[in-house]
Each structure stands twice: as C-alpha cells, then as structure tokens.
Chain A
Amino acid sequence: MGEAIVITSGKGGVGKTTTSANLGTSLAILGKKVCLVDTDIGLRNLDVVMGLENRIIYDLVDVVEGRCKLHQALVKDKRFDDLLYLLPAAQTSDKNAVTPDQMKQLINGLKQDYDYIIIDCPAGIEQGYKNAVAGADKAIVVTTPEVSAVRDADRIIGLLEKEENVEAPKLVINRIRSHMVKSGEMLDIDDITSHLSIDLIGIVADDDQVIRASNQGEPIALDPNNRASVAYRNIARRILGETVPLKPLDEEPKGFVAKIKKFFGVRA
C-alpha cells in the first residue's frame, strides 16, 4: 500500500509543479515506484516539465468518466525502468469535471500499485484544491521567501489541518536567494518557520538551471551536480525517513574561478 503526498501552496508560481516533478524523479532515482498525478485540470503542465507532453493519449478526466482504463492513461517515463509514471490532467475540461470522491477512489486505486503518489495541486483553495487533497495522506506545502507566498501558505496550512485524512503538513521553502537573505532584503528561514510553525522538510536555492531544465522537459533532479537537484533529492530521502541534515544556505561556490569572482565581489 503506497502513500499519497499532495504538493500544494495556495499561491501560484511558487514552484508546486517543479517540486512535484523533481520529488517524483528523486524518489524514482532512489528506487521507489512513483506515480505523478496532475490535478490542475484545464491548465496542465506537469507533463511539459517532465517532457512527456507528446506521449499523452488519455487523461485523468477520461479515467474518471470511464472512457479508458486507469493503466491506459498512465504515461511511462522511459528514463526510468518502470518506476515513474504520470497521470496527466485534461486540458479541455475544468476543475468541476472531477469530484473529491472520484479523486479519492482514483488515488486509492493507484496506492495499490505504487510506493508513492505525488499529487500536483493547482493554485487556489477552490474545487481544484479540494480534489487534490481528497485522496492525500500527507501534504507538502511549498512557499517562497515572499510575504505574499507565506501568507497564502499559512491559509493553506490552516485548511490542511482541518482535513482528517491528511497528516500534519511539511514545509518546503523554494527559490531562496542567499545573498538577499544575507542583506536582509528577503525573509529568512527562521522568519518563515517561526511564522508557519510546521516542520521544515527542505530548502531549495534559486537556481537558473531549474528553469532551463524545466523548459527542456528534463527535471533538474536528473543532474546530480546541481545544488537544487541535491536539495530535491534530500527532500526525497527525508520522505523515505532518512535523517538528512538541512544544508546551510551560505555554501560557498567552489572552484578557482568562483574564488576569484568572490574575491572581486562578483556573485556566482
């Protein structure tokens, strides 16, 4: 029996889909059987980030409405040998095409065959959110170090705490920029965790490579040397129950050129 984790945030654009894609990828790298479920019906893009867009035949709404079997709609990621699958959202309907009960049934079905089901939640707290949370056992709240994102995360945490089937949510702080935190222009990690007072499960640094990788349909987690990738893999290991210390943010870029740049005060 697998475990369903919903990735949510309230606010849009904080990196729910990127986090979903990379956590799914990281868990698959660690040898777990993973199914990604995109619940952002009408505005799907997990398939794009995963680079699986042109292999979609059926989607979530087709499954729910009985136009196809569940296994027919699952898109297999060929980079992993039978470990990573995607259930894409429909692009032509809207959030009301599915009910929370149907979602619950669907996720329960998936839990039989997969170790982890990662549910990518749409922004907002309406129908789409309710659908995404219905089948989940755990929740990860993604936020960025911005007041607006933290405010929305606070709201979402309040709503998640009311859900009986979901465990206490965990927090991922995404796109943190160490130089801005140091200069005091950005909320730091302590500010955010003391405000939200939930367990922190990972910190992901802002990295240009993440955007580049998303655009190419190759989740950054596939690159073992990238710092964001390491962060995602660490989150995956923490999900598996390993104790991985949270990396301090002020990691200095290594290498000769970086040192020279640092000497002249140029940001890496």
Chain B
Amino acid sequence: MTAMSNKLLQNVIIKGTKEGLTLHLDDSCSFQMLMQELDTKLSANIRTPENSPSIKVRVHTGNRYLIDKQETELKEVILKKKIFDIEEIKSNVITLEEAKRMKEESEITSLCAIIRSGQIIEVPGDLLLIGDVNPGGEVSAGGSIFVLGTLKGIAHAGRHGKLESVVAASVLKPAMIKIGGIMNRAPEDFMQEAHEMECAFVEDGQIIIDRLQVLKQKRPHLNKFEGGF
C-alpha cells in the first residue's frame, strides 16, 4: 500500500529554482489523480511566514494538453493556497487549430489584385499585395502589409494588436493607416507630396512615416534571412 501511494505521489515533481517553483506534471496519469496529488503536495510541503511575497510558479504539463476547463481547475488548485502566483503554464502540445492559426499568422499571403472602392481584404498573417488599393478600399492583416503598387485606401496592420507590424508601399498615399489600435489620418497636405517607397510603423505610441530603409533598424524582426551576405 505504501509502495503504491509512493508511486502515485510521483506524478507531481516540484523543483525549486531562483525564480520560484517549477511544477512538472506527469502526462500519463489521469487528470483527476494529478489534481488530487497536486493539492496534497502543495498543502503539505510549503510553509511560509506571514506577509512574505507570493511564490512564482511555472507549470509544465509535458505532453498533456489541457482543455480550458482543466486549465481553470489547475489554476484554482494552485491559487487557492493564496501564496502562489502562476507565471506560466507550458505544454509540449497544442491543438491542430492553434497550430493552423499560428502558421497562418506567420505566413505571407500574396494577392495580385486591385482593391477597389467598397472592397475589404482581410488576411491572418502578413499581406503582400501586388496591385493598388484604391480610395474606399481596405486591406487588413494580422501582421504587416506590403503593397507593390499605390496605397490610396485604408490599411490596417496588426489587427489583433501586433504593434510591431508595419505598412509599406511603393507609393504611400493612404486615406488612413491603422497599426494595432493606433490610428492616423493623412494630414491635409500629405497627398501633394511624393511618397514613394515609404513605410509606416509605430514609435512611442504614434505612427511614423519614413523611408523603407529605416525598417532595417526599427523592425529587425522583418528580417527572416539567416546567414551572412
């Protein structure tokens, strides 16, 4: 019996690090068992003086995928001890759906078209448009927008809040540029000047328009080329 319970109690391994605790949860036992053991271990082992700062906890679930309900339960078990703070919950596995979304969001969608008045194009990742965006047309992307043509309509980059997204165009004459939640309308005299090979990006909470060449410094993440040249 004791051997049995000892074996059972190895489903949760607690390791102390400089930053706090790391909980390694076994991924082959049942979730119910895991929660029971976690609850027991956390109650038994930790004693802290009153008013000490809360302990940061990282949870690794191994090859176990937690559905939302299970994740909530796990958080509850840990947080009800009142001395812990969950820093992250990490798993080796994600759902197909998430993987697909991640792939889509990191992909460049290329499109050869003229976006005319009244038309809206939305892509999950970056957009490479070969053609113009006419006034009244709108392009919207989860990531950055690159237009090989004239951008005269509305461009919305970083739709889900990715502020590091940029908008670049061969000719930049937009009616409006949005990056994340930040919005900028073109100033009245903007349309008169030539704006060739320019880009828009966010700096200090404001949209800046500058030459394409500055992106090398301002947005190094756009550089996906590896190796020397």
Contacts and interface: CB of A to CB of B under 8 A. Distances in A.
24 contacts: A151-B117, A151-B135, A151-B136, A152-B117, A154-B116, A154-B117, A154-B134, A154-B135, A154-B136, A155-B116, A155-B117, A155-B118, A155-B136, A157-B116, A158-B116, A158-B117, A158-B118, A158-B119, A158-B137, A159-B118, A161-B116, A195-B134, A197-B114, A197-B132
A111 to B, nearest CB: 29
Which of A158, A159, A195 gathers most chain B CB within 10 Å?
A158
Contacts, number: 24
Contacts of B116: 154-155, 157-158, 161
A151 B116 CA distance: 9
Interface of A: 151-152, 154-155, 157-159, 161, 195, 197
A195 to B, nearest CB: 7
A136 B117 CA distance: 22
Interface residues of B, number: 10
A88 B104 CA distance: 53
Given A151-B136, A155-B118, A158-B116, 16 more contacts: A151-B117, A151-B135, A152-B117, A154-B116, A154-B117, A154-B134, A154-B135, A154-B136, A155-B136, A158-B117, A158-B118, A158-B119, A158-B137, A161-B116, A195-B134, A197-B132
A183 to B, nearest CB: 18
Contacts of B119: 158
Interface string B125-151: 000000010111100000000000000
A159 B137 CA distance: 12
Nearest to B115: A158
Chain B contact residues, majority secondary structure: loop
A151 B132 CA distance: 14
B88 to A, nearest CB: 46
Chain A contact residues, majority secondary structure: helix
Contacts of A157: 116
Contacts of A152: 117
A161 B135 CA distance: 17
Interface in B135-184: 135-137
Interface in B101-131: 114, 116-119
B130 to A, nearest CB: 12
A157 B135 CA distance: 13
A155 B134 CA distance: 9
For the complex of A and B, list the 8 residue pairs with the smallest distance between their C-beta atoms, beginning with the closest. A158-B116, A155-B117, A154-B117, A155-B118, A154-B116, A158-B119, A154-B134, A151-B117
Contacts of B114: 197
A241 to B, nearest CB: 26
Nearest to A155: B117
A154 B134 CA distance: 8
Contacts of A195: 134
A69 B119 CA distance: 41
Contacts of B132: 197
Nearest to B114: A197
Contacts of A159: 118
B117 to A, nearest CB: 4
Which of B118, B119, B135 gathers most chain A CB within 10 Å?
B118
A155 B118 CA distance: 6
Nearest to B132: A197
Nearest to B118: A155
